[in-house]
Structure 1
Amino acid sequence: MPGIEIAILPELLEKCPRLQIGCLSAGVAVEPSSPGLIRETEQACDHISRSLEIDAVSSLPHVRSTREAYKATGKKPGRYRPSAEALLRRVLSGKGLYYINNVVDVINLCSITTQYSIGGYDADHIRGKVTMGIGRGGEPYEAIARGPLNIAGLPVLRDKLGAFGSPTSDSVRTMVRNDTSYLFLAFFNFAGHERLEEALQQAAGLLATHCRGKNTEIWLLSNS
């Protein structure tokens, strides 16, 4: 059985009835990215730069459905861009991707190639059952590299300590650290797009190749 217990709250399913969360847990070893991973990422960025225009990013199916979900839950997607959209726009602006560590870099590579916004978390810092709902006004959230983030109206993951994840930005509390050994990924699929499991398998393969991924478990969560 998966080590992370997770459920989607009715308040979010009412707004986004086709929402699926693709879940992956795995043991990992965090290290600097290898030349092979950097090369694979640069090749993906080059392919995206040659095949996609920046004005078309918001119309990509996974990006568009996430933006529509934000509108349904009460958030402006232009101001709080889904992470996949932000990464793709960065690539298409010629800025490339930051290289943080092998685990974060694999997550970013998966995001730009599958076009899913992906939350990546140190599972040992998640406390109790996880639920996905809608952020409330004044709810505290310290986003990585952004500081306090207004998550009111934003789809969010919570544990018993509060909100820790969203399709826009991960939180400092559950971020991947140098000593992270147990990883949890959430692929946010707001319109029930096909091939979600294929994207999860891609992530599992990259984690095995570049992050010594082991004991990987994959499961899907939806309204059905």
Structure 2
Amino acid sequence: MLDDIWVDDAVFDLRPDFAVLLMTARGLRNGPTDDRSRAWLAAASEVEVQTAKIDAWKDAYRAFGAKPQRTRPSVDALTRRMPLPEINRAVDAYNSISVKHALPIGGEDLDRYVGPARLVRATGDEASEEVLGQPEPGEVIWRDDAGVTCRRWNWRQVVRTRLTEETTNAIFLLERLEPMSLEELKEAGEELADLLSQLSPEAQITSRLLTSGK
């Protein structure tokens, strides 16, 4: 699965510093927010906002014509929602890591995908859920064979692939721009894997780093 995921060269042309750490967790035991995941959210809410990393994402949005004050990068929107919302254990886990590292993270139900995920610049005629609206030509989107899975790079995900309490196989997309280092990206991935392993000790977690030229 991870080997089939790809990023179009047109995205790397836009931001050569882009990298994404892909992670799958199979055999996940998700469920409603509990005291443990609530503590992760509380700890993340105390972390000072790292504006330089968020500003890099705002610049990336402007580069493909989006207005980051209107449709905010996911980590920017999340840091404005303190205290962090309680969703479910797996989402709480990746949201806490997202805020801690000022790192956009998407978490989705792997079993809801149709074909591999890929990050591309939209043609404008991709199938998209009505609530998200139609992507604009040139917009950066995640998609699969069925259509858009996330608009405007990491602004908003579709309902179809969202993580629910019943999800057992998940994929996580940890998206990096400079000034975040690749070392910190890998550290964030290890921290997320640790939280997921606490939730589901028997889960099988695999990862792949995807950068320009790889």
TM-score (norm 2): 0.88
| Equivalent residue runs for 1:145-224 within 5 Å | 147-152=131-136, 153-165=138-150, 166-191=153-178, 193-194=180-181, 195-212=184-201, 214-224=203-213
Q: Tell me if 1:5 matches 2:31.
A: no
Q: What do the CA deviations read for 1:96-121 (whole angstroms, capped 9, x no partner)?
A: 22211101111211111111111111
Tell me, which stretches of 5 or more residues in structure 1 are unaligned?
Answer: none
Instruction: Provide the C-alpha distance between the structure 1 equivalents of 2:94 and 2:139, rounded to a whole number of angstroms.
Output: 21
Q: Which of 84, 89, 104 is matched with 1:102 structurally? A: 89
Q: What do the CA deviations read for 1:10-43 (whole angstroms, capped 9, x no partner)?
A: 2211111111011110121111122122123113
Q: What do you get for the CA RMSD once the two structures are aligned?
A: 2.0
**1:154–1:63: structure 2 CA closer, same or farther, 3 Å change rule?**
farther
Tell me the CA shift for residue 132 of structure 1: 0.4
Instruction: Provide the C-alpha distance between the structure 2 equivalents of 1:172 and 1:43, rounded to a whole number of angstroms.
Output: 28
Instruction: Provide the C-alpha distance between the structure 2 equivalents of 1:30 and 1:38, rounded to a whole number of angstroms.
Output: 14
Tell me, which stretches of 5 or more residues in structure 2 are unaligned?
Answer: none
Instruction: Provide the C-alpha distance between the structure 2 equivalents of 1:205 and 1:119, rounded to a whole number of angstroms.
Output: 17
Q: Which of 72, 81, 96 is matched with 1:90 structurally? A: 81
2:172 is paired with a residue of what secondary structure? strand
Tell me the CA shift for residue 187 of structure 1: 0.9
Tell me the CA shift for residue 130 of structure 1: 2.0
Alpha-carbon contact 1:110-1:202 (below 8 Å) kept: yes
| Percent of aligned pairs sharing the same letter | 25
2:156 is paired with a residue of what secondary structure? coil
Alpha-carbon contact 2:40-2:93 (below 8 Å) kept: no
Q: One-letter code of the match for 2:203? A: K
Tell me the CA shift for residue 199 of structure 1: 0.6
Which one is further off, 194-203 or 131-140?
A: 131-140
**1:10–1:43: structure 2 CA closer, same or farther, 3 Å change rule?**
closer
Tell me the CA shift for residue 5 of structure 1: 1.8
Alpha-carbon contact 1:22-1:200 (below 8 Å) kept: yes
Q: What is the number of residues matched between the two proteins?
A: 207
Alpha-carbon contact 1:125-1:174 (below 8 Å) kept: yes
Instruction: Provide the C-alpha distance between the structure 1 equivalents of 2:200 and 2:65, rounded to a whole number of angstroms.
Output: 37
